[in-house]
Structures are given as C-alpha cells and as structure tokens.
C-alpha cells in the first residue's frame, strides 16, 4: 500500500449538530481530499477549505447515490442512474449497480441474447448450455477453447 502524501485530516469533533433546515445547506464529498463539505443551497461549486479543490455541485434535484470503491474503499458519490463511477483516489472504475439490474450478452456459442444479473461472472445459455463469461468486454473478446 502506498503511503498517502499528506496525513488524512481529522475533522474536528464538535458537539454542534446542524439544525434540520430544509434545502439551505447540502453536503458533498470533496473531489480532492474526500472530506465531507457543507455548502449553501444555490452554490454551483464548492472550494474545499482543506485542499482547495473545487468540486462542482450537482444540479438541484439530482439524486445522488453512494458506493464504496472496490479498490481503496473510499466512499464515492455519484449521480443515480450512472452505470460506472471512477474513483478519484485510485482511478478504479466501479460499476454502479442497482439491485436487480440486468445486463445482456450474446451467447458465445449460438449468439442467443442472454440476460444476466450484474455481478455475474458467467452466464449459462439455456439453449445450448454454453457458458459465456462476462465481465470483460463481451463484444470483441472471443475465447476459444480447443478441447
């Protein structure tokens, strides 16, 4: 594991809890240092006080979702509906998976269109029982088994 260049800033623990105001303050995660930032409603970008990175504020009404990076386990925020999220820390591309989301792949043997659940590594064709591996590129990758 590479050592971070700067020590991770510890947010000050204050007993103060923000009042439950509706829509006047929002939160986002800094694109630079991953600190949670508070910003007033209407702002289009937030300058981080810790690392001075400017993070664009998603337009109001945008539904944000979160996932944990598979590479470095950083909490990532993304716009709901996006299919993949690239981590700004380790550049791992994480698939943004909704539950019950399905994908399609053509059977590697009979080209039948198969449906499978995201996360599956292989799909067994119900017609010819050929097992098609998914996950990498399914359009151009042709695996030949000479057995």
- Contact residues toward Zn ion (CB under 5 A) are 30, 32-33, 48, 50-51, 53, 69, 71-72, 74, 87, 89-90, 92, 107, 109-110, 112, 125, 127-128, 130
Looking at the chain, the number of H-run helices and the number of E-run strands are 0, 12
- Minimum CB separation of residue 112 from Zn ion in Å reads 5
Please name the residues in contact with 2: beta carbons below 8 A apart, sequence gap of 6 or more. none
Q: With respect to Zn ion, which residue has the nearer C-beta, 100 or 143?
A: 143
In three-state secondary structure terms, 85 is strand
Q: With respect to Zn ion, which residue has the nearer C-beta, 22 or 143?
A: 143
- Minimum CB separation of residue 52 from Zn ion in Å reads 7
Q: With respect to Zn ion, which residue has the nearer C-beta, 69 or 77?
A: 69
Q: Find the length of the chain.
A: 147
- Minimum CB separation of residue 86 from Zn ion in Å reads 9
C-alpha span between 97 and 6 (Å, rounded): 32
Q: With respect to Zn ion, which residue has the nearer C-beta, 116 or 130?
A: 130
Q: With respect to Zn ion, which residue has the nearer C-beta, 94 or 118?
A: 94
- Minimum CB separation of residue 22 from Zn ion in Å reads 26
Is the Cβ–Cβ distance between 74 and 65 less than 8 Å? no
**CB atoms inside a 10 Å sphere around CB 78:** 17
Burial of 116 (0-12, 13-18, 19+ CB in 10 A): middle
- Minimum CB separation of residue 93 from Zn ion in Å reads 10
């Amino acid at each position: 594991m590479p050592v971070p260049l700067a020590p991770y800033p510890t947010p000050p623990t204050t007993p103060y809890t923000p009042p439950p105001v509706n829509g006047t303050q929002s939160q986002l995660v800094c694109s630079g240092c991953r600190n949670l930032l508070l910003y007033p409603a209407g702002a289009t970008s937030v300058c981080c006080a810790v690392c001075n990175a400017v993070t664009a504020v998603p337009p109001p009404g945008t539904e944000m979702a979160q996932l944990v990076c598979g590479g470095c386990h950083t909490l990532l925020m993304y716009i709901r509906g996006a299919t993949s999220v690239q981590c700004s820390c380790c550049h791992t591309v994480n698939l943004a998976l909704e539950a019950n989301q399905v994908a399609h792949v053509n059977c590697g043997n009979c080209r039948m269109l198969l449906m499978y659940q995201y996360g599956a590594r292989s799909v067994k064709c119900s017609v010819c029982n050929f097992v098609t591996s998914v996950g990498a590129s399914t359009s151009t990758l042709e695996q030949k088994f000479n057995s």
